[in-house]
Amino acid sequence: MSDTEKKEAGSTQGEISEEVQTPTAPRKREYKDFGHEEVKATHANVDMSKIELKAEDLYDKEKVDLETIVIEDVFKLLECTEEGLSDEEAARRLGIFGPNKLESEEQNAFLQFLSFMWNPLSWVMEAAALVAIALSNGGGRPPDWEDFVGIVLLLFANSAIGFYEERNAGNAVKALMDSLAPKAKVKRSGSWREIESSELVPGDMISFKIGDIVPADCRLTEAINVSIDQAALTGESLPQSKKLGDQCFSGSTCKQGEAEGVVISTGANTFFGRAASLVGQDDDTTGHLQKILAQIGSFCLVTIGIFVVLEIVVLYPAYHYSYRDGLDNILVLLIGGIPIAMPTVLSVTLAVGAQQLAKYKAIVTRITAIEELAAVTILCSDKTGTLTTNKLTIDRSTIRTYGPFSLEDIIKLAAYASRTENQDAIDTCVVGSLPEPSKAHAGVKILDFKPFNPVDKRTECTYREESTGQLKRVTKGMTGIIVELCSRNKTEDIENKLEADVEEFAMRGLRALAVAFEEVDGDDHEAEGNGFELIGLLPIFDPPREDTKQTIDDAIALGVRVKMVTGDQLAIAKETGRRLGLGDHMYPAKVLKDGPAPGSKHASLDEMILDADGFAGVFPEHKYEIVKRLQGLGHLCAMTGDGANDAPALSRANVGIAVEGATDAARGAADIVLTEPGLSTIVHAIRGSRVIFQRMRNYSIYACAVTIRIVVCFAILAFAYKFNFPPFMVLVIALLNDGTIMTLSVDRVLPSMTPDSWDLAEIFAFAVAYGLYLTLSTVVLVIVILETTFFQDKFGVHLENAPGVPAANDRMLHMIVYLQVAIISQALIFVTRSHGFFFMERPSAALFFAFCVAQLVSSIIAAYGDWGFTKIRAISGAWIGIVWVWNIIWFLPLDLVKFAMKATVIKYIRQRRERRTAEEATLGATGIPLVKTTSRAASIHESLYSNRVSFIKRAARKVGFGGKISVKPEELQRFSSIQAAHTGAVLARHPSRPTA
């Protein structure tokens, strides 16, 4: 029984036509199989003499469609014969159409490293480094080497982490290319030979057999019982039977038979190649996290810029500052205000999160996808092999019986009519339905077996029962064929019942397999039997995975909607949706082109897409379009899949998820690769990503607050007291803070039960409140020390009081301010990480330990830090104690600041957002508002955070940097949006290479 049966055997569409018969004659019933409608070949509607052998003509479907025209026209248009091309002609065509492969451009490693220093946050730090080494000259002092070295080390550490991540990457186009067959059997000049598949050209005659990968899109000129598995390309559950004239796609696998064909398209113009170019057409080269970094960076830059300008205006003209002293004050704002370590801290947080997700068998291949997964609102899932097992099964609960045999008897008899070796999909599922498949033929002796063939469309087995010695015969196959065979006990009632059952199966997307039985008198197994009797109808379907329904329920509980997007047929998709509790409100893919029908409940295509439970019969272009439209509505989308056909949508989605057993193409395009079957890992990944998101949000509030705190605090002190704080000590504060904050990557936080989003208005509001409060704590301390003698009188402490030095620039006062700023700034993290009182949510041991170590180091520096190149001097233990007590007193009310902000400003921000959402929301039929996700807001600087800039690429070409970077074969290939976008653009501009 061949794989052809898997498309046709017993399945129906419910389209049962009847021929009108005379009253005396029994009516003849015609059962049409459930499957794809046959597309008849047409003639090319062009003047053959005017079509030139150029890529622009042959790949222009408005002129000619090589996929559907009659095979004779294919040979005319391609100017070839079944004897194949000559070597000279093949070489000429290779120049016209290009090689049969996908090309990609890889970056120079050195420029790739430098590109990580190209964003506004890095620019400011680079400017500070230049100020320290180039402009800080004069006034009898050498250049500020200490600050310069410290800044450069910070920059290089940040770039090194990002570079390491990128260097472990491949790209989706490479993975798609690697899936092509490396060798092909081709006929050249009348003789067969084996060549590299990249050398194939349109017009070549190729040959392939069972187990081979089809090396290029072709039309079959000879087909012997051919069955092609193209599930990875089209999403169809079963291998498809192919006959003379049919098209076979590049990258599909021959599961049965032998075939010859003429190549009609190669490389980027194949079905496979078009999927690859779709991967690269996503122009969203800036990651979602980079957009958030851009907006946070802009906030910090604007804040710093305002106060730098104020210092320049005030310190030089009004206070007559010397050139060098003014620069030192500006350096304090630049070094202390820029959260230069933000990309590094977030990268470490994400990297540690990726390791944690790996415990749940989810390999993260683009770590910024973790942050996006936390915000995902819609999960688009492929069906075949993702929601389902991609393994045909008999649905026992739906089996229909028509004779004296039981359900178990029917399955056993059907197994007799199945091969136990070299099984195709239908035979495998029938035999696999037995309690002990290894004993499928136990108790009988097979005397004759007729395998499936495209003409008879059934299998037949004659056997002898060992217990009775009686000969019997059973057949299974296409419903209409089996019914025609039956002559015994076939009544009008049985036929009506069968008709109704077949129609029900068709509506539910179940493929039907009819079974009939007869007895044979005598000992001649070739003798006629007593007539076949219809005994049963077996429903065959691709069952959902055991954990899929629970996974979908869990995803919905987390606020994530699930939509099925499958290449299979509508009835099958609806039945799968019903079984999973996903719903059966699904549409065929053609609605994506035609839009909602006139008078339907949907006013627009976008509304229909959002309302639907899924789509069926989709191709790569459709999946890509669905994800793109949902993103246009403001949703962050995740897409699961396992085949090459899923690659474009996986790359377009905010988070592409390749399930266990996925093809190289799908894994290459995905951001997360699952290594265990099923989707349950996705729920763990969503929860884990939301934990990681909370850590990053906590850090973002902290970083912005510290920016406000440093910039405003030291600007006010400079304006009020001409306070000249040493820049190097701000650098020390930044290093200690960042070292502590790194441990946030393993902090203990609770995930949200709804999709997370970056509400930057809330983040900035909290940051301003915290920053101003901490500024007040420092300014008040300086005022008490300078304007009173409270500490001197009560605790017997004193300042250095060096002759000729204003009290505000006393070196011991500088150290006191350093210690106060360092301690309370780090303590702020315990407030930002908690939703209630800071002591109600226990931090991780690592964070608490790092905080203690940092405070110990800060106190030791304060006690012993007599460094000649800075304007500081060690202070006594009494001063250190005073600072600690001061900070504790000011720290305790920080929670009250948080609660006050929530009750006033934050409440107002949320109410305003809800009002705006209510006004802008468009309600669909299900009442689901089309809410624009806050985190999708654009930023004028976002492209500057993408770690790639066009001028660097141009510079690489000008100076001759064109070397290829190597990717280890064992490393998991990762989709790189920039590389793929470039390749996609090249494919779009140059679909082939015409001759000069």
**Are residues 744 and 693 in contact, defined by beta-carbon separation less than 8 angstroms?**
no
**Are residues 340 and 741 in contact, defined by beta-carbon separation less than 8 angstroms?**
no
Residues 6+ apart with CB under 8 A from 421: none
Residue 426 DSSP SS3? helix
DSSP 450-468: E---TTT-EEEEEEEETTT
Instruction: Give, as one character, the DSSP assignment of residue 512.
Output: E
Distance between CA atoms of 685 and 358, rounded to whole angstroms?
9
The tokens for 943 are 């492209």
Distance between CA atoms of 220 and 223, rounded to whole angstroms?
7
Residue 32 DSSP SS3? coil
The tokens for 55 are 């890529």
229 is catalytic: no
CA angle 808, 812, 818 (to 5 degrees): 90
Give the burial string for 377-404 (b: 16+ CB within 10 Å, else e).
Answer: bbbbbbbbbbbbbbebbbbeebbbebbe
Distance between CA atoms of 354 and 729, rounded to whole angstroms?
34
- The closest alpha carbon to 155, from 116, 183, 182, belongs to 116
407 beta partners: none
Q: At what angle do helices 727-741 and 845-864 cross, to 10 degrees?
A: 160
DSSP 312-376: HHIIIIIT---HHHHHHHHHHHHHHHS-TTHHHHHHHHHHHHHHHHHTTTEEESSTTHHHHHHH-
Q: Strands of 374-502 (E only): list them.
A: 378-381, 393-394, 400-401, 444-450, 458-465, 471-477
Residues 6+ apart with CB under 8 A from 978: 285, 946, 948
- The closest alpha carbon to 725, from 334, 331, 339, 338, belongs to 331
**Are residues 332 and 732 in contact, defined by beta-carbon separation less than 8 angstroms?**
no
192 beta partners: 187
Phi, psi of 646 (to 5 degrees): -85, -15
Given its phi and psi angles, is residue 674 left (phi above 0), alpha (psi -120 to 50 degrees) or beta? beta
Given its phi and psi angles, is residue 583 left (phi above 0), alpha (psi -120 to 50 degrees) or beta? left
**Considering 217, 382, 646, 747, which one is annotated as catalytic?**
382
Distance between CA atoms of 762 and 110, rounded to whole angstroms?
39
Distance between CA atoms of 903 and 960, rounded to whole angstroms?
60
- The closest alpha carbon to 754, from 497, 375, 431, 209, belongs to 375
Residue 565 host element (H or E): strand 561-565
Instruction: Give, as one character, the DSSP assignment of residue 131.
Output: I
Q: At what angle do helices 680-721 and 760-787 cross, to 10 degrees?
A: 30
DSSP 782-821: HHHHHH--HHHHHH-------TTS-GGG-HHHHHHHHHHH
Residues 6+ apart with CB under 8 A from 644: 176, 179, 232, 233, 251, 272, 275, 663, 665, 666
> What type of residue sits at position 383?
K
Could you list the active site residues? 382
